[in-house]
Amino acid sequence: MRAWLPCVTAFLVAVSGAFAAEPLPAAPAGFAWNRLSEIRADLLVPTGWKLSRQKKGDSETYHLAGPKSGAGAGAAFDINWVPEVPKKTAMSPSKYAAGLVSAASDSHKLLDKKSSSKGSFATASFRYADSGKGRDGMMVSYEFLANDRSGSLYIVAFEAPAATWADAWAIGKVIFENLRLDPVL
């Protein structure tokens, strides 16, 4: 069975103030919830994966690194939150995301591409096999979740060696489909 990039099913919470108090559902076997309070998101972290945080300016990035061996070896997941996109780019987050997808189309042969909406977010996603220097054999999946009302953008990426993509994506798909984002942020 081939793994195709599905749209992220983000479980969105309607009221900003209630987000942090919102109870989390039971985590699937092999995963634990991690609340990313700085970006008001909830993320499933697979057992054995390492989570780190980096702040650059007012942007926040969380990086999940897969183990060195076994299921998910060499895989990585990133979620980046960018506030005030209109001030930085002079365009709405959804237009900015569309431009990023267009640029990706110019520099990579996309294997699939999709746009839709989920609650407060306009989404755009794509997947490609990376052939850049030192990146041969990597499969990369991106999802942009743009909130034009709040002016913010979430950029979600998952990558894994192409040779083990199906096994790695079985883990990545769970992370993508259960990502919870605050629709007000």
Q: Can you tell me whether residue 86 is helix, strand or coil?
A: helix
Say if residues 151 and 83 touch (Cβ distance below 8 Å). Answer: yes
Q: Which one-letter amino acid corresponds to residue 173?
A: K
The domains of the chain, with CATH numbers, are: 29-181 (3.40.1000.10)
Average pLDDT of the chain?
Answer: 85
Q: Per-residue pLDDT for 134 more than 70?
A: no
CA distance readout (Å), 43 to 81, 129, 182: 13, 25, 12
Token pair for residue 92?
């709405």
**Residue 21: pLDDT band with limits 50, 70, 90:** low
* pTM summary value: 0.84
Closest to 115 (Cα-Cα) out of 155, 159, 145, 83:
145
pLDDT digits (tens, 9 = 90+) for 46-80: 999 999 999 988 889 999 999 988 888 899 999 99
Distance CA 45, CA 169 (A): 14
For 85-132, write each residue's pLDDT tens digit: 999 999 999 999 999 999 998 888 899 999 998 888 999 999 998 766
